[in-house]
Amino acid sequence: MEKVDHIGIAVTNMDESIHYYIHTLGLKLIAIEEVESQKVRVAFIDAGNIKFELLEPIGEDGPVSKFIAKRGVGVHHIAFGVSDIRTRLSELKEKGVQLLQDEPKIGAGGAEVAFLHPKSSYGVLYELCQKSSKGTQ
């Protein structure tokens, strides 16, 4: 892995959460968008050396909605930034890591993303994330 790109944080009220990060903690809002494929509205917050990705569920059957119902709000995943996501995924698969998808999907900011199952990563949901050259984040 090359670096940690962002930390995903599950929230139930995006507006209140943004207010906390911007006005209370003094960080900067980068962008807000809906990622329909993941059933979330996301807000990226600039935290200097890293970003926070606030994740508010859209509807009740997406992964973040299920996560909040089971575990409550808070840290949801950690995303590694990579420059060749397909190679990284096949290397991890060869090493026995359980991938949640063999082929990356398009996520926030147009990035290609894929997830590793928390059961094979000692309880942490990891994302691999390859930025799009046209992306906003």
Binding site for ligand CMX (CB under 6 A): 8, 35, 38, 40, 42, 53, 55, 63-64, 66-67, 70, 76-77, 100, 107-108, 115, 117-118, 123, 125, 127
Look at residues 80, 70, 68 and name the one whose alpha carbon lies nearest to residue 1: 80
Contacts of 54 (CB under 8 A, 6+ apart): 9, 11, 14, 17, 18, 21, 42, 43, 44, 45
- Compare residues 23 and 33 and give the one whose CB is closer to ligand CMX: 33
Report the chain's C-alpha Rg in angstroms.
15
Q: Which is nearer to ligand CMX, 22 or 100 (CB)?
A: 100
Nearer to ligand CMX, 26 or 96 (CB): 96
Smallest separation (angstroms) from ligand CMX to the CB of 108? 5
